[in-house]
Amino acid sequence: MTAPKIKGFFIAGAVVLGYVILKHYTGFSIPCYFRYITGFRCPGCGITRVIYGFLTFDISDAYDANPFITITSPFLIFELIYAFFIPQKNSAFDRLNSILLFLYIPLLIFYGVIRNASQLESRFSISLPEFLRFWSD
């Protein structure tokens, strides 16, 4: 691992730690501008609460904030480690990794639609199938 990567890792860690301390003592949280503008929750809404929940060992709060990100967080952590800390990359594994990322993005977007199902129904006067209401707010 190179010195700039180590420095970046510690800077990111310091920022996250500073945010956790700030949130704990002031209640300040980063707003979602997508939700502010559209009224819908984006697929990533709640990710800072997920991180905060993990760091404070409150997994149920993390799950309530964003179930998809909470469930897939081991995959995301692996992706960060793979991208930044593994110097020798295997081409066969790179292809598999690309396929997984290619599948992850549409699933994340689909989750964004599911979590807004009740708002979509009321706003556009449509009726969605019951299975789309699983993670709906």
Least confident of 32-36, 50-54, 71-75, 91-95: 91-95
Say how far residue 40 (Cα) sits from the centre of its chain.
Answer: 16
To 10 degrees, what angle do helices 47-55 and 67-85 make?
A: 80
Q: What is the pTM of this model?
A: 0.72
pLDDT at 72 (0 to 100) = 93
Going from N- to C-terminal start, the domains of the chain cover 31-133
Each as own residue / partner, the long-range contacts of residues 51-55 (CB below 8 Å, 24 or more positions apart, any chain) are: 51/16, 52/19, 52/20, 52/23, 55/16, 55/20
The per-residue pLDDT for 106 is 92
pLDDT at residue 31 above 60? yes
Mean pLDDT of the chain: 80
Mean pLDDT on 41-46: 85
